[in-house]
Amino acid sequence: MRLPFTALFLTFLISAAHGSPAPQPVEIPLASGVLHAQLYKPEGTGPFPTVIALHGCGGLGGHSDSVLPRYRDWAERLLKSGNAVLLPDSYGSRELGPQCRVKEIHVKARRERVTDIAASRAWLMKQSWVARDRVSLMGWANGASALLWAVRPQNLARETGPDFRAAIAFYPDCRISAGLGWSTRVPTLVLIGGNDDVSSPPACRQMVDGAHGRSALARIVVYPGAYHDFDRANTPLHAASGSTDAAAPEHGHLGTDAAARAESQKEVVEWLAR
C-alpha cells in the first residue's frame, strides 16, 4: 500500500519541523498480510550494518508522527554512526492502537512479534544495501521481551544466511524467561534501571546469571536509581507504577534517568561495534 500524497507531505513537514531525516515507509510480507515498517537508511549504496528496532506497548507512532520521539531519537543516533534502522510496526500493521492496558492481548511478544522479527530479518537479507552479517536487534519493554524470545536457540531461523550479530534489550519483562531457563544464541545486552517499577530488575539479573555457561554472551547493566523508560527522549521521567512506556510520567528523576540514558547510549554503540 502506498501512502497518499497528503500523508507523504505531512511526513516531510514533520521531519522538517524536527530538523531530522524522514523515515521511508516500507512493506514487509507476512504469511497473512503485510508488516508496515519505517526505515532510516544512510546515504549511499552500502552495505550498511542494520538494526531492527522493536517498539514498546505504546506502539511505534502517534497521531501526528509515524515514529515516536524516543524511537526517532535512537534511530537518528544509530544513523549517524553508519547504521540503517528498520522499525516494524507490529500494532499499526494489524490495525491496533497502544496495547499497554489492554486485557486481551492479540499481539503477543512470544508469538506475533517474534514472527515480525523473523519477517523483518528475511526482508533485510534480500536488500543489496544491507551488510547481511551485521544485522542486530534492539527493543524496548514489550519489544525487548519479544527480542528475548527471538534470540533463544529454539527460535533459530530456518532460512540460510548469517544470524543476528547482537541484541540489546531495554527494560524487558524477564520474569517468564527467568523461570524458563532462558539462554541466547547471540550476544545479548540487557539495560534496566535499578528502580524500574514496571519491569523487574531482580528477574532480569536472575535470567542473565542463569544463562552463564550454557549460552552465548549475555550481560546486564543495572543503572542505580533509574526508572522504567529512563532513555525516553527529552522526558527524563519514570512511568507510574503499574503502567508502561506509553503512560504519562508521575514523578521526575532528572539526574538518575538522564545519567542512565547517557550511559546507555555508550553501551549501545560499543555493543553494536563488537
Residue range 126-152, pLDDT digits in tens: 999 999 999 999 999 999 999 999 999
Say whether pLDDT at 35 is over 50.
yes
Amino acid at position 96, single letter: L
Contact between residue 124 and residue 41 where contact means Cβ atoms under 8 Å apart: no
3-state DSSP assignment of residue 173:
coil
Q: Quick one: cell of 81?
A: 554512526
Measured CA to CA in angstroms, residue 152 lies from 27, 110, 117, 134, 201 at distances of: 26, 11, 13, 18, 20
Question: Residue 9 and residue 105: Cα distance in Å, rounded?
Answer: 34
**How distant is the alpha carbon of residue 198 from its chain centre?**
17
pLDDT tens digits along 71-129: 999 999 999 999 999 999 999 999 999 999 888 888 999 999 999 999 999 999 999 99
Contact between residue 23 and residue 40 where contact means Cβ atoms under 8 Å apart: yes
Decide which of 10 and 260 is more confident.
Answer: 260
For 94, which DSSP code? G
Give the per-residue pLDDT at 104: 84
pLDDT tens digits along 169-222: 999 999 999 999 999 999 999 999 999 999 999 999 999 999 999 999 999 999
| Per-residue pLDDT band at 5 (split at 50, 70, 90) | very low
